[in-house]
């Protein structure tokens, strides 16, 4: 390390990444960390829990808080839980990163903007998915309208999926973090356990294999997670609300569940750096997604 680097102040801070569902928050964090810690799918509300992703580079540690998508309509207990989790992340952070889609600003974006405005915390606006805008000429007046709000400390157009302009984004984030000692070891990536991440990996695979009728009424619990003779034996239950959903998850002659198990096992082996024996079960618990008691039993804890 050079003398200049030694003299450089150490910065450390927490960054809440917020936005409505499906704007690319989890994809952004995964690419910033160069490591997949957040599950992704094309289904809205894939993220259900707040979780931390830690990036340490040079003299700066950035602690990203991935949050569930904020949504105005919260008809069920699980929707209300996700809104509370996302709203809590807006408190006691050093910086807010508000993610929106390029050339879109809908009522839900405005609603989130008003919630952020109440916090009085420096906010970066991230205009994501610019790669989807074929006519870049329409992007400039759109950015001008956002600048006219005179609220954001900086507006950064990016493509999280294509990894465009992410270095510029990191520089802007670092510039707005306070001085302070690192809170995590330099090689630590997240605050979540392997058991938690395993359940999320399994849920991601089933989300990608099923249609719109299953995702919001499915959750995963890990029943056992034990090492035996250098093999991790994992038993997990996929919970749904109706027998028809159970049949969908299992698939014809069990083929869908088998495929989910195969895909999940490969990712889990990368996660734990070892061999995995994975057993999956599908069970029905009617109305779990609208029951506070059931949510707590499944790990949706305040």
List the pLDDT tens digit at each of the 302 positions of the chain.
455 555 578 999 999 999 988 899 999 999 999 988 887 887 777 888 888 999 999 899 999 998 888 877 777 888 888 888 888 888 889 999 999 999 999 999 999 999 999 988 999 999 999 999 988 888 999 999 999 999 999 999 999 999 999 999 999 999 999 999 999 999 999 999 999 999 999 999 998 888 666 767 899 999 999 999 999 999 999 999 999 999 999 999 999 999 999 999 999 999 999 999 999 999 999 999 999 999 999 988 76
Report the pLDDT value the prediction gives residue 281, as an integer from 0 to 100.
Answer: 97
Tokens encoding 8: 């450089």
Report the pLDDT value the prediction gives residue 212, as an integer from 0 to 100.
Answer: 66
Please name each of the domains of the chain with its CATH number: 3-175 (3.40.50.300), 194-297 (3.30.300.20)
Tokens encoding 142: 């759109």
What residues pair up with 33 in beta bridges, in sequence order? none
Which residues are CB-neighbours of 33 under 8 A, at least 6 positions away?
A: 53, 54, 55, 64, 189
pTM of the predicted protein model: 0.86
Integer angstrom CA distances of residue 278 from 41, 260, 281: 22, 10, 10
Report the pLDDT value the prediction gives residue 277, as an integer from 0 to 100.
Answer: 98
């Amino acid at each position: 390390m050079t003398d200049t680097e030694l003299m450089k102040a150490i910065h450390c801070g927490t960054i809440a990444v917020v936005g409505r569902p499906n704007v690319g928050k989890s994809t952004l964090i995964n690419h910033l960390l160069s490591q997949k810690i957040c599950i992704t799918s094309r289904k809205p509300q894939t993220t259900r829990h707040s979780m931390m992703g830690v990036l340490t580079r040079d003299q700066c540690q950035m602690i990203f808080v991935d949050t569930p998508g904020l949504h105005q309509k919260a008809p069920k207990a699980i929707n209300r839980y996700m809104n509370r989790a996302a709203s809590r992340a807006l408190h006691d952070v050093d910086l807010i990163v508000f993610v929106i889609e390029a050339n879109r600003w809908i009522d839900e974006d405005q609603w989130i903007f008003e919630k952020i405005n109440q916090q009085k915390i420096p906010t970066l606006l991230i205009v994501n998915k610019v790669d989807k805008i074929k006519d870049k000429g329409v992007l400039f007046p759109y950015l001008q309208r956002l600048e006219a709000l005179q609220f954001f400390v900086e507006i950064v157009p990016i493509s999280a999926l294509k990894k465009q302009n992410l270095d510029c984004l990191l520089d802007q984030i670092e510039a707005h973090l306070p001085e302070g000692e690192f809170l995590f070891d330099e090689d630590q990536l997240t605050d979540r356990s392997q058991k938690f991440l395993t359940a999320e990996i399994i849920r991601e695979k089933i989300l990608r294999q099923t249609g719109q009728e299953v995702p919001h009424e499915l959750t995963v619990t890990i029943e056992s997670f034990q090492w035996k003779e250098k093999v991790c034996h994992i038993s997990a239950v996929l919970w749904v609300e109706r027998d028809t959903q159970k049949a969908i998850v299992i698939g014809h002659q069990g083929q869908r569940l088998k495929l989910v198990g195969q895909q999940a096992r490969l990712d889990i082996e990368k996660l734990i750096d070892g061999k995995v024996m994975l057993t999956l079960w599908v069970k029905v618990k009617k109305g779990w997604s609208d029951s506070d008691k059931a949510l707590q039993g499944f790990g949706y804890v305040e």
